[in-house]
Amino acid sequence: MLPAYILLLFVAAYYFLFSRTSSRHIWYYLRHRLGFSATKSLVSLYQNYYWFGQALIDRIVMMAGIPNRFTFNFDGEQYLHEMVAGGKGGLLLSAHVGNWEIAGHLLKRLNTRINIVMFDGEHQQLKQYLENTTGRRNANIIVIRDNISHIYEIMEALNNNELVCMHSDRFLPGNKTLPAEFLGKYAHFPQGPFALATRLNVPVTFVFALKESLFHYHFFATKSVVYRDEPHTSSEKVLEAFVKAMTEKVKLYPTQWYNYYDFWK
């Protein structure tokens, strides 16, 4: 893996120098939303590309079962075991922070199947790869399509006491959204995950997997909550709690939020 990481130094430099559109959006996030100095923003921009490249390499290594030197520590794993013991399954909401696919793979340690919800057009080749490599490893892909078939798949998974993992910081054009203040300015988040959180009557937790060194990951899960579709636990309240958790992780690991478009548009 070290040779791949060394090569990645040059690949990250290429994107740092020539990928102007994505760099502009990450620069805005670092410079204007986190308030970094110009110098720190430049360094962090390069690090963002480098960490992202590592995330792609690590994902392939882990899910293909290639021998590796990775180590992990877990904060809040007991909440996931409690979910499974409760018999209703659970909804795991995450973001494009760190390396969620590795976290989903590690959750095979739980005595249930993991379902990862993905957009139909999101990394088509990666989806196919995940289906081929994780299907044997206690994971399943649920694809979000134009119809509502994925909703039935999610409900079936929960009825089978399985865990359903969803990214909650990105949406496709035309999807319903909810506004929330994030890093000092309002942005839009997909409505779907937070609406499901209040309507499915299952425990909900927020999860993140961040890389802390070349071969070490740190997994976080918040205490699970069963939200009700009532005025005091509306979708907006779930979103508020999620944004709070996401903000905390983004500030701790600012170069590991892989968002390459105008999030605050």
> pLDDT tens digits for 132-159?
554 445 567 788 777 778 888 999 999 9
> Residue 166: which domain range?
70-256
Residue at 84 is within a domain: yes
- Residue 93: CB partners within 8 Å, gap ≥ 6? 166, 168, 193, 194, 197, 204, 205, 206, 207, 242
Report residue 232's pLDDT band, with 50, 70 and 90 as the boundaries: low
Task: For residue 56, tell me if it sits in a domain.
Answer: no
Q: Give strand ranges (E) for the chain.
A: 71-75, 90-94, 114-119, 139-144, 163-167, 177-182, 185-190, 204-213, 216-221
- The tokens 């959750």 sit on which residue? 107
Closest by alpha carbon to 106, among 71, 82, 54, 156?
71
**Total number of domains constituting the chain:** 1
Any domain includes 60: no
Classify residue 217: in a domain, yes or no: yes
- The residues, ordered by sequence, that sit 6+ positions from 163 with a Cβ below 8 Å of its Cβ are 80, 83, 84, 89, 90, 91, 92, 107, 110, 112, 113, 114, 115, 157
21 falls within a domain? no
Is residue 63 a part of any domain in this protein?
no
Record the pTM.
0.89
| Pairwise CA distance, residues 236 & 53, whole Å | 34
pLDDT of residue 59: 83
Q: What is the pLDDT, as a whole number, of residue 128?
A: 57
Query: Average pLDDT of 105-123?
Result: 73
Q: Is residue 136 part of a domain?
A: yes
| Centroid of chain to Cα 28 | 21
Q: Is the pLDDT of residue 220 over 50?
A: yes
Q: Is residue 199 part of a domain?
A: yes
